[in-house]
Structure 1
Amino acid sequence: MDYHSPYFFGYLIGLVHLLGVVAALHAVASVRTAQGAIAWALSLLFIPYLTLIPYLVFGSRTFDAYIKARRQANREMHLAITDLNWRPWVEEALAARNSSSYAALRALPKLGRMPCLANNKVRLLIDGKATFSAILGAIAQARNTVLVQFFIIHDDELGRRLQTLLLEKAAEGVKIYVLYDSVGSHALPSAYCQTLREGGVEVRAFSTRRGWFNRFQVNFRNHRKIVVVDGLQGFVGGHNVGDEYLGSNPRLSPWRDTHVQVSGPVLACLQESFAEDWFWAARQLPPLILPDEYPDDGVLCQVLASGPADPQETCSLFFIEAIHSARERLWITSPYFIPDEAIFAALRLAVMRGVDVRILLPSRPDHRIVYAASSLFAFEAVRAGVRIFRYQPGFLHQKVVLVDDEVSAIGSANLDNRSFRLNFEIMLLTVDRAFADQVEAMLKQDFDHAREITAEDSRDTHRLQLLGMRIARLISPIL
């Protein structure tokens, strides 16, 4: 074939346009939002040369292969728990419905696949030193099984401290399971994992590229942070494993983040979430541990695990339900603020109801395009009556929601489209006045170190900056 022939280029152009038509039809049939479907379809039809490859990488919105793996994992988990004392979990789930504050979140029992459970103990862990002191201390006391899952694991001082401790516990006969995201931990050297494997630690990467249709897919990422020790102590929140989370990055230091330590029946749900992800990566289940006895009292907790394999947009709907349930106060902290129309409308309605709506964002960018898009949404929110603050001392990475006097949620989900629809996320919802008071005190201190954005800030922003923000917002659905 003459590759310099005009006929060859004609056939090539025709093939690209044909593939563009096929991809456009796929986008119309599969992309969840009308805006996204229109944007992809039109660009694939008219400029397929520029958009075919990005669509292969970013276009998919449902993770069908994971859905099939989840079904198989659930069947195997059902068999695995038949010999365990599961009855207390069911009994506590029924008891949880007596809470008036939880009843205000009327959609949560159906939205979450996991029940709200009573008789849990929770401890607020503020910043990296407290978080990793508690996590490493709990692992050091492990006697049976340790489950570790992070979006990012670095081969730095903190990462090697974790590695050394896991190797020590594995040498003692403790079963160790480590799961990390292949995109988030792309810089993790293979030698780090190989050292763990040689020491008896089970290590897997959560990758979405399994199968031909997922070959180019990097859109879905497992953003969860979970640690469970012996089925007795659990940890969930915003920290990853890296020295920057302890404040070692001068550009972002001090790093502001929050984790929660939890014990009680709700640990069964943390283990279930980890088991589903581990099954996808390893095609086998880790041990499931449920104590025979539970505390006689404690707080209500519900694990909300969300992701692109859910039948609905669980994370986005959670935020909408939390906003709609607020009667007096709604405080949210997030490193990124890229809401969709439904959440933006819910925030405006909350302001109209007289709710004290505050959102705390970082003042320093870790991703400049995301920061630019967030800034434009922040200006629009201020004009709608939402109070927006920027945390001044360092980079703010915590993901916290505080509703009225009793309800709080802490975990890995950001207030952006990636968390709403693309990432696997996990949040721990807590219904307890005393714990909410602790969260309130923590956030008040954060607000004391923040500067409130005003309408004048928007007017004083240079037109070129505003143009950059608007361009950044155009690609916000894949940020």
Structure 2
Amino acid sequence: MTASVLTACIAVAHLLGLLAAMHAVMHARTPQGAIGWTLGLLLLPYVTLLPYLYLGSSRFLGYRAGHHAPAASTQAGAAGAAPPLDPGCERYAAISALQRRPFRGGHRLRLLIDGEAAFDAMLGAMAAAKHCLLVQFFIIHDDTLGRRLQRVLLERAAAGVRVYVLFDGIGSHALPQRYVDELRAGGVAIHRFATHRWRNRFQLNFRNHRKILVVDGARGFVGGLNVGDEYLGLKPPLAPWRDTQLELAGPAVADLQQLFAADWQWITGAPPPLLASPPTDGEASALVVASGPADPQETGSLFFAAAINAARQRVWLSTPYFVPDHAVRAALQLAVLRGVDVRVLIPARPDHRTVFLASTLHAYAAVRAGIRVFRYQPGFLHQKALLIDRDTAAIGSLNLDSRSFRLNFEVAALAVDHAFAAEVAAMLNADFARARAIDEREYREAPYLHRVAMHVARLFDPLL
């Protein structure tokens, strides 16, 4: 390559870096992100241009956030007086306004602890489907559990049930095309969630991290479990795998259907069938909380901040990735200052080394602020659970990190019900009994280079 060609290539790279830096200044969600990308793109465009192409965008373009208004057809048959709401729902009016839909009363809730109980319930519910199955997971593996799911889906499709399946194209990157083709040949409508439009085409950020199952419009499941043998605790070194799923029946199942329908329509251009969600004899009040990078606000972060700010007695959190942003960190610190019992449960074993290093540094800062942080000892903790006071709990797919706050599509169910909150409290008490409390020595006594690595990892908070 001649000197003139090399000079021209360098000039083009810097010009593209300047244009990308202007885009970063205009569109980055945080000042820190804008500064980091801008400096890199201006000073080292040959290094940062390609990562910015794949990771720089923080807004999912072209997607209509369809989780705010349930379709009218899902409410058919729900005539009559609405079931009463728990008075405690009033404390979460900001979350309801953020979602632009109300809490609904009259739900039956079932807590499903760990993979065996959760998949027995979910596969059993699917096997009993008569009309329609909506199935969505971030990860589906072609292993023993994945093939169990495949058999149930094929059996239901052969029985005349309409079966719709979504999986994330990056999360399920190892899923062989053979698995998908076998389902399609058996009458299952199955698609991978992908950016698929030119404005998002190169982005790795925007993942559909939701786990949703709806059976005949009547029973819904949300939580942290994907489809793979590791979620049954069958793959060391992370085994046993600690996770939680929630089954709900009642009017909020219609909102889960609508969420699935929005994602399905984005990929296929046509909605799946939406069935009426029949009433139940349950008493719990519930709100489906959905978030994603197409939202005009940072819904995930605002959800956690609002829930924590509503607490007066306790805030117990279980999360595999503890990388809170400023708003959530401030809400936790303010809760401590109000005299609230604030506890955070995180893993003792890493599945992603960089996130684990950043989480360790955040845990140190949290302990110094008076937040009690615990490391779960028996295996890997993947559970996403939130307990507020003695009446409120949330189970879903949201982690305490930037990806769940602003980059991934997520879902959770927020339930206000004393009996259900007591179940979640008992579950978390058992988890804390198997955990070790963190003190400041974990950080201070770590080797110097290990502490440096923690601080370096924290620089990547906006991408973790």
Q: Same fold (TM over 0.5)?
A: yes
Q: Provide the rounded CA distance (Å) in 2 between the counterparts of 1:253 and 1:15.
A: 50
TM-score (norm 1): 0.94
| Higher helix proportion | 1
CA contact (8 A) 2:332 2:342 kept: yes
Give the Å deviation of 1:459.
1.8
1:15 aligns with one of 12, 15, 18: 12
Question: What's the offset of the Cα at 1:212?
Answer: 2.4
1:83 positional shift: 9.1
Asked whether 1:334 is paired with 2:319, we answer yes
Contact 1:339-1:417 at 8 Å conserved across structures: yes
Alpha carbons of 1:87 and 1:381: their partners in 2 closer, same or farther (altered >3 Å)? same
Letter in 1 for 2:76: L
Q: What is the aligned partner in structure 2 of residue 265 from structure 1?
A: 251
Shift of 1:454: 0.7
Instruction: Check the 8 A contact 2:136/2:166 in 1, yes or no.
Output: yes
Match of 1:92 in 2: 82
Matched residues in 1 for 2:281 and 2:244: separation? 27
Distance 1:263 1:74, change over 3 A: closer
**Cα deviation per residue 1:187-221 (whole Å; 9 max; x = unaligned)?**
0000000000000000000001x222322111100
Give 1:32's aligned amino acid: R
Give 1:417's aligned residue. 402
Question: How far off its partner does 1:149 sit?
Answer: 0.2
CA deviations 1:321-368 (Å, max 9, x no partner) are: 011111110000000000111211111111111110000001000111
Distance 2:170 2:370 in 1: 37
**Which of 81, 91, 112 is equivalent to 2:73?**
81
| Shift of residue 300, structure 1, vs aligned partner | 0.2
**Matching residue's letter, 1:369:** T
- What is the number of equivalent residue pairs in this alignment? 464
Cα drift, residue 250 of structure 1: 1.6
2:49 maps to 52
> Larger deviation: 39-48 or 377-386?
39-48
Q: Distance in 1 between matches of 2:454 and 2:327?
A: 21
Map 1:368-447 onto structure 2 (within 5 A).
Answer: 368-447=353-432
Shift of 1:470: 0.7
Q: Pick closer, same or farther for the CA change 1:181–1:113 going to 2, 3 Å.
A: farther
Deviation per residue, 1:360-389 (Å, 9 max, x gap)? 001000111110110011011101110000
Structure 1 residues 96-245: aligned runs within 5 Å: 96=85, 99-208=86-195, 210-245=196-231
The equivalences for 1:444-463 within 5 A come to: 444-463=429-448
Q: Determine the structure 2 residue equivalent to 1:285.
A: 271
The alpha carbon displacement at 1:85 in A equals: 3.5
Give the counterpart letter for 2:118 in structure 1.
T
3-state SS, counterpart of residue 175 of structure 2? coil
> Residues 327 and 378 from structure 1, CA distance in 2 versus in 1: closer, same or farther, beyond 3 angstroms?
same
**How far apart, in 2, do the equivalents of 1:238 and 1:56 lie?**
29
> Is 1:412–1:426's contact at 8 Å kept on the other side of the alignment?
yes
For structure 2, list consecutive stretches of 5 or more residues without a partner in the other structure: none
> What does 1:298-313 align with in structure 2 at a 5 Å threshold?
298-313=283-298
Shift of 1:81: 2.1
Aligned-pair identity (%): 54
Give the partner amino acid of 1:282: T
**Structure 1, unaligned stretches of length 5 or more?**
none
Aligned residues of 2:78 and 2:279 also touching (Cα < 8 A)? no
| Residues 113 and 304 in structure 1, CA contact (< 8 A), matched pair in contact too | no
The offset of 1:82, in angstroms, is 8.8
Matches within 5 A, 1:337-376: 337-376=322-361
Among 44, 63, 67, the residue aligned to 1:66: 63
RMSD: 1.7
> Distance in 1 between the 2:33 and 2:79 partners?
45
Cα distance change on mapping 1:124 and 1:452 into 2, 3 Å? same
CA contact (8 A) 1:28 1:37 kept: yes
CA displacement, residues 219-244 of structure 1 (integer Å, 9 cap, x when unaligned):
10000000000011111100000000
Judge conservation of contact 1:306–1:426 (CA < 8 Å) in 2. yes
Change (3 A) 1:52 1:87: farther
Task: Specify the code of the residue in structure 2 equivalent to 1:169.
Answer: R
For 1:64, what is the secondary structure of its paired residue?
A: coil
Q: Tell me the distance in 2 between the aligned counterparts of 1:92 and 1:151.
A: 34
CA contact (8 A) 2:108 2:281 kept: no
Q: Letter of the aligned partner of 1:192 in structure 2?
A: Y
Q: Are 1:276 and 2:262 counterparts? A: yes
Cα shift at 1:74: 9.0
Q: 2:301 aligns with which of 292, 310, 316?
A: 316
Shift of 1:456: 2.1
For residues 110-150 of structure 1, give each alpha carbon's deviation from its aligned partner in whole angstroms, at most 9, with x where no partner exists: 11133211001000000000000000100111100001000
Question: Is the 8 Å Cα contact of residues 68 and 101 (structure 2) preserved in structure 1?
Answer: no
Q: Is the 8 A contact 1:114 1:269 kept in 2?
A: no
**Distance (Å, rounded) in 1 between the aligned partners of 2:122 and 2:320:** 23
- Closer/same/farther in 2, CA of residues 330 and 254 from structure 1, 3 Å limit: same
CA drift at 1:86: 5.4
User: Which residue identity does 1:366 align to in structure 2?
Assistant: D
**Separation in 2, partners of 1:187, 1:412:** 21
**Per-residue deviation at 1:297?**
4.4
What amino acid does structure 2 have at the position aligned with 1:391?
Y
SS in 2 for 1:106: helix
For 1:327 and 1:74, the matched residues in 2 are separated by: 29
CA–CA distance in 1 between the matches of 2:46 and 2:89? 51
Alpha-carbon distance in structure 1 between the residues aligned to 2:447 and 2:88: 45
